Structure 1
Amino acid sequence: MSTISGAHIFAKKALLPDGWAENVAITVSDDGHISSMQRDTVPAGNSVGILLPAPANLHSHAFQRAMAGMSERRGQEAHDSFWTWREIMFRFLDVLTPEDIGSIAAFVQMEMLEAGYASIGEFHYLHHQPGGTPYANLAELSDRIIEAAEKTGIGLTLLPVLYQHGGCDRRPLAPGQVRFGNDPDRFAMLFELAAGTMSRLPEDAVLGVAPHSLRAVDEDGLTAAIALAGDRPLHMHLAEQVAEVEEVIAARGTRPVEWLLRNAPVSENWCLIHCTQMLPEETAALAKTGAVAGLCPITESSLGDGIFDGVRYTENDGKFGIGSDSNIRISLSEELRTLEYSQRLRDKCRASIATPEKSTGRVLFEKVALGGAQAIGRKAGALATGGFADLVALDEKAIDLEGREGDEILDAYIFAGDDRMITDVWSAGRHVVREGKHVKGDAIRAAYRKTVAALRMRL
């Protein structure tokens, strides 16, 4: 899917780095960058009502989209939890073929684009055949994610996952985990193979590294992953569950965040996912590293993970972005709303992340746009010359947006509206959503329907 050469986009209202502006004209270069911007101009080219920087979805497990709605029955245990959900997920993934994974990935990427995301950080840990035998092409399933991005036009940061052990005690992988497993040497081979396929994508594509967690990766594996990443994006689950924290303490003598900050060079190219089980001092310390906290409020709510301390994190200048994780529901506006409402429920307050200068919606949207772009190594996150043209347009005629000005636009979109307000999305200049629908949506949906029907027969 190619960029429209010399595309021109006119917006009646646009959120620029220094605030709101009117009658803004943007020119997109052949390579997908914003080459020029002009304020107070006249309509030309594609005309939209309200233009915003389109955020990145920084944390996704694409294949889990086809599980949505399958895990809401209680298990045999008295208390259902993340760990019982995980057993359902293991059983589900054991029937997936490469063709299934490609179809599911294309569908969920399409949904993300229609929801207002321009790019994705795919935390990809499903590597091998059922039973754990590698495919003839070690990067077979990574290639399916890449092929889906070719089809949908989403900006892809692929994050192959290193997964070594079944727990901190280095026990062998359980039957449900063997499709994930690699030692550092084989993982490096997989990484190089995926890099070769990634070269087919446009220049905004990025390859990063994801050591899964302190449960699944030992010290030597983490060191190898850090070396392989270099200055590329490095993503890792951290302090998501109480049981995880307890397991790390038992094995390493300290809590996960404390251990990582003492033993790893956490910095701006790192993204730590969830972080819902942090002490106040850990929250402040992680914020000061410059790393991005990868928050997934809908999934964290679904799994009962806990509540990220967003107020304390922002007070310490922490950076954060948003991910759809389990893909149980794809909605940018709902992720933002859920994040803010979780803070209000915990603290019994309102407008928890707002500042005297900017509304809640403005702070949330700008932070996730900039934080998400940083996390996936993408030169985007703001409507600025030189950055990729990752753009999302809202319908100025939507009932809840009509007559709104300034920050009230974002407040109405996040807290009163939903993704039906989205009219257009550009990913690095690729105009992939028009009139609210993906340009290849019919074919992608049809293929997904066939895949899900076949999966039901196998489950």
Structure 2
Amino acid sequence: MKSKEIFAETALLPSGWAQNVSVSVDPSGRIAEVRKDAQPGAFTHRVGVLLAAPANLHSHAFQRAMAGFTETRGSGASDSFWTWRQVMYRFLEQLTPEDVEAITGFVQMEMLEAGYAASVEFHYLHHRPDGEPYADLAEMSGRVCAAAADTGIGLTLLPVLYQYGGIDRRPLGAGQVRFGNDPDRYARLLEGAEAALTGLPPDARIGVAPHSLRAVDAERLTWASELRPDAPLHMHIAEQVAEVEEIRQATGARPVDWLLDTHAVDGRWCLIHCTQMTEAETVRLATSGAVAGLCPITESSLGDGIFNGESYVGQGGRFGIGSDSNIRISLSEELRTLEYSQRLASSRRAVFAEAGRSTGRVLFEAALSGGAAAAGRDCGAIEAGRVADLLSLDAEATGLLGRAGDQILDSWIFAGDDRLVRDVWSAGRHVVREGRHVARNGIEARYRRTIRCLTGAI
């Protein structure tokens, strides 16, 4: 099998912007060679703008199908994450393994068309609606893997450990029983998920995800962190005011402080949301080496709060971007929403910009680096030896005419949208061409059938 070659008029390399760049991708899906000032060959795929493609570091795929169902106010005077969660619980009670596979395939396809090359699936929907396991304990994990086989997305699968309904160790409620496992069963589930991944290309990865400090006790958090010591470790933390107060009352400390005091948090950890931190917690997290997993569209949708982005980045903190509830799948909009939240909080513009790098470039390169770390994936740059996760933008689009260098990213993120994405390669697999996933027709048809059935059942 011969290497593939991509020729770009403009490309963003680790050293900066370059012209007339040739990128060779070997049969294993890694970048074999990068050459500047090159000439296109006879069989080269030509693009206008070539970028490394980020990993989407946090997704609950099944929630894509309930987008638009939660925009009415509940019976109380105000609505919140907690009332949204009740709607989510009612929705997931209807889902079969076949539904989950169809929905996951559709959302993965949308991610690829938006410019993500990989997805980190924070997967907690494990069992039947009554909490009984399927005959194959890892049935639902297998469905996520089957969707990835159809879409070609790079997958990091994070089976979630979920023990309790709150930090007081109360039993799981009716909407949560599909998530629950004791440690022994979780260990077997993790093995089953690993077995399911073997049917995917070798860039697929496993990770571990203790759900949150509310759902996993302190002893099992330590245990879970040691299950796969070289794999990514993700958990939700400090998302909501009520959550912070519940943990503070139970432990005497705020959640981020408690975690950093009791565990050796380092670069393999990805802490999701972190929207309710003090300044001191922000600095401590930034200097730990962990990745903050930010999901700005979902955090806006749920009223979570605003991440302390300026001080976090000022202390050298790493972050990446995820789509979480998948209410919208848009890489450019996630980045734009993150920057705009900082502008609203500070009453200033271009908050993330720095000398020599524009706002869009700082955001995009942070998403590349943080996403690669959180996915446990050797991607994130157009560089020999890296996994060939790449995307191209349409240089002839009206929104990019006359743009050069960082202006390309700024115009895409702040003035354009994901229609500018023309091609996406995931570990060298050319899965999006001319802005459309190569298997869109079949994936969309399955999703449409699933949604019609679900809408009638809810």
- Tell me which interval the TM-score lies in, with the shorter structure as reference length: over 0.9
CA apart distance, 1:229: 2.5
- Between the aligned partners of 1:186 and 1:83, the Cα distance in structure 2 is 28
The alignment partner of 1:52 has SS state of strand
Letter of the structure 2 residue corresponding to residue 432 of structure 1? V
- The corresponding residue for 1:43 is 40
Deviations 1:280-323 (CA, angstroms, capped at 9, x unpaired): 01001001111100000000000000000111111010000000
Say whether 1:344 aligns with 2:324: no
- The corresponding residue for 1:104 is 103
CA apart distance, 1:158: 0.2
Taking the TM superposition and a 5 Å limit, the aligned residue runs for 1:14-163 are 14-44=11-41, 45-163=44-162
Letter of the structure 2 residue corresponding to residue 25 of structure 1? S
- Between the aligned partners of 2:201 and 2:283, the Cα distance in structure 1 is 37
Taking the TM superposition and a 5 Å limit, the aligned residue runs for 1:39-438 are 39-44=36-41, 45-438=44-437
Q: Which runs of 5+ in 1 are unaligned?
A: none
- Between the aligned partners of 2:348 and 2:79, the Cα distance in structure 1 is 29
Deviations 1:102-134 (CA, angstroms, capped at 9, x unpaired): 000000000000000000000000000001001
The alignment partner of 2:398 has SS state of coil
CA apart distance, 1:224: 1.6
- Between the aligned partners of 1:311 and 1:231, the Cα distance in structure 2 is 30
- Between the aligned partners of 2:364 and 2:434, the Cα distance in structure 1 is 22
- The corresponding residue for 1:440 is 439
Deviations 1:406-458 (CA, angstroms, capped at 9, x unpaired): 10000000000000101000000000000000000010000100000000111
- Between the aligned partners of 2:168 and 2:398, the Cα distance in structure 1 is 56
- The corresponding residue for 1:456 is 455
- Between the aligned partners of 1:172 and 1:315, the Cα distance in structure 2 is 41
| Cα RMSD for the two superposed structures | 0.7
Letter of the structure 2 residue corresponding to residue 6 of structure 1? S
CA apart distance, 1:5: 4.0
Give the number of aligned pairs: 456
Letter of the structure 2 residue corresponding to residue 13 of structure 1? T
Q: Which runs of 5+ in 2 are unaligned?
A: none
Deviations 1:18-76 (CA, angstroms, capped at 9, x unpaired): 10000000000000000001100112310000000100000000000000000001000
Letter of the structure 2 residue corresponding to residue 157 of structure 1? T
- Between the aligned partners of 1:265 and 1:65, the Cα distance in structure 2 is 34
Deviations 1:190-212 (CA, angstroms, capped at 9, x unpaired): 00011111111111100000000
- Between the aligned partners of 1:129 and 1:373, the Cα distance in structure 2 is 33
The alignment partner of 1:215 has SS state of coil
- Between the aligned partners of 2:312 and 2:429, the Cα distance in structure 1 is 34
Letter of the structure 2 residue corresponding to residue 323 of structure 1? G
Deviations 1:180-234 (CA, angstroms, capped at 9, x unpaired): 0001111000000111111111111000000000000001210121111312000
